[in-house]
């Protein structure tokens, strides 16, 4: 079994803004691409266009319709990946020591050469963040793009997780939670960042910013004038064009 470090020098992680995420899945695509086409170990796909496709993903986006007590229903897009927990049960349950948490930055990783694919880490993870690669026979998970954030061959602007770099809505933020002045620490404090399933006691490093309440929709009569056609009976060139198209 692997023991967890009592303290890490940094707490690198993500802040995900549920109010801003539009569910475009750009983070999913970029994560799959980086970890398949670049420095990371390839993420396999089996029978991708067949009757029973199966693929390995380190990041997924779920969508839910939520009806609050006050206000209209909202669609919430919920990205989910490894949360790099401080008390990560996936590490302590691993029988070979393949799963471990780094002292220097708190990132939870898997040494694939030591992984036997037993699946105990997947059973112990309350977030479903581990996936068994069917081709390699080993467990895989989000690495916070450790091969990007320290890669001096990349421009400095690209030294952040692929999902963060790609997000068009700027809903994902990367930084050090051990630094109270970092961007992620400030966002968490200002917006009431939340732990996912805090009752599990895993102390996830990644935080979620709750969606802001939406305004009540006004009377539909207010919108009625805007929905009316500009001209009930088109005239001039538009009228001629309308009649010509009707004959086709």
**CATH number for the domain running over 12-209:** 3.30.70.20
Q: pTM for the complete prediction?
A: 0.82
**Shortest CA distance to 206 belongs to which of 148, 141, 111?**
141
Q: For residues 78 and 223, is the Cβ–Cβ distance under 8 A?
A: no
The contacts of residue 179 (CB under 8 Å, 6+ apart) are 10, 185
Give me the pLDDT at residue 212, please. Answer: 80
Which run of H or E residues covers position 79?
Answer: strand 74-80
Give me the pLDDT at residue 215, please. Answer: 63
What is the per-residue pLDDT across 96-142, written as a single tens digit (0 to 9) for each? Answer: 999 999 999 999 999 999 999 999 999 999 999 999 998 889 999 99
**Shortest CA distance to 135 belongs to which of 200, 47, 64, 199?**
47
Give me the pLDDT at residue 244, please. Answer: 75
Residue ranges for the chain with pLDDT beneath 70:
1, 39-41, 214-235, 237-238, 248
Q: For residues 59 and 128, is the Cβ–Cβ distance under 8 A?
A: no
Give me the pLDDT at residue 236, please. Answer: 72
Sorted by where each begins, the domain ranges of the chain are 12-209
Instruction: Give the pair of three-digit tokens for residue 71.
Output: 């206000």
């Amino acid at each position: 079994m692997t023991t967890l470090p009592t303290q890490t020098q940094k707490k690198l992680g993500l802040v995900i803004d549920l109010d801003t995420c539009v569910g475009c899945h750009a983070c999913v695509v970029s994560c799959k691409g980086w970890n398949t086409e670049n420095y990371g170990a390839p993420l396999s796909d089996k029978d991708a266009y067949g009757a029973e496709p199966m693929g390995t993903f380190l990041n997924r986006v779920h969508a839910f319709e939520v009806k609050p007590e006050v206000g209209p229903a909202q669609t919430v897009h919920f990205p989910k990946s490894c949360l790099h927990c401080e008390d990560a049960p996936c590490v302590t349950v691993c029988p070979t020591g393949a799963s471990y948490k780094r002292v220097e930055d708190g990132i939870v990783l898997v040494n694939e050469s030591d992984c036997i694919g037993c699946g105990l880490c997947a059973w112990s993870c309350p977030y479903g963040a581990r996936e068994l690669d069917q081709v390699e026979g080993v467990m895989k998970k989000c690495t916070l793009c450790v091969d990007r954030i320290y890669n001096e061959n990349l421009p400095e602007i690209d030294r952040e997780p692929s999902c963060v770099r790609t997000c068009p809505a700027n809903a994902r933020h990367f930084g050090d939670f051990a630094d109270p002045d970092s961007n992620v620490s400030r966002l968490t404090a200002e917006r009431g960042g939340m732990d996912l399933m805090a009752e599990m006691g895993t102390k996830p490093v990644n935080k979620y910013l709750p969606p802001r309440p939406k305004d009540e929709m006004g009377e539909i009569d207010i919108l009625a004038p805007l929905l009316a056609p500009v001209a009930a009976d088109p005239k001039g060139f538009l009228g001629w064009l309308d009649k010509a198209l009707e004959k086709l």
